[in-house]
Structure 1
Amino acid sequence: MAVKLHDFDFAKWDTFLAEIEGETVKWNSGIGVEEYPVYDPRMYALAKEFEASDFFDQSFQRTLFQKKHEAITEEEVDEISRSSADFFDVRAITSIVIYNERHMKGMWAAMTEKGILRRLLQRLHSLTPAEFPIF
């Protein structure tokens, strides 16, 4: 059995994502201020815990390139969240969704409102190999 060096609490975050699923994220705007989404502080905690865990694919861009996902649509991410059987594919997609909010404002909003992030994490958890993390 593999030792989890930097674990991620899937049950805790599934409960949180179920709570906010379907809710519209508010956007803050003002004169001279670029619009930005206002997230529940727990969303930042989820991202921080995931990025510090063994589940975060630090080479997600390379993995996505190898998996032929150079450009991927929201619909494709949704389909992967529902049906992929490839742990490494789901891991890379989940990693880019969580990481890319800093580059694409509103990514988390789209992924949480539609339940896509929750499904990705559920699928990642269900596909995790017994020997993970793999060194």
Structure 2
Amino acid sequence: MALSIQSNETVASILQKIRDHYGAQCLNNDRVNECYTIIDEFHSNIREHVATKLDRCQWHLEIVCNDGIMQLEFEYAGPYFDPTKAEPVSEQPLESRPIGGLGLAIVAQLSDAMNYCYRDGVNKLTVTLDTKSSREDDTCH
């Protein structure tokens, strides 16, 4: 499934397009909500950091679901920005933390793998989630 998305679209409309396309196929797993969160964070970053500098901003999302592995491929034209090299989020209380980076930290935490490339003025981020495995955190007892 491939979508072209305008930066002024709502996240709800983007997620509805995905649900309409897939139905229950590939989306009947708890980790699907993590995919939705990743898409929401990416869209928010495009709106905040890319679209504000352009008259019109469009990005592309391709979703590939194969044998429980879901890949989200995000593409947009713009300056080089590698989200896999983002600064770690400081462990300060939210009130005293500098603004920025939290969305990327969420994306990194929710994904099983992130790959980035930049070619001919286009950023491409591929986020992979294994929907067959659980992300339950067993560190809290």
Q: Same fold (TM over 0.5)?
A: no
> TM-score of the superposition, structure 2-length normalised?
0.27
> TM-score of the superposition, structure 1-length normalised?
0.28
Higher RCO by CA contacts (8 Å cutoff, separation 6 or greater): 1
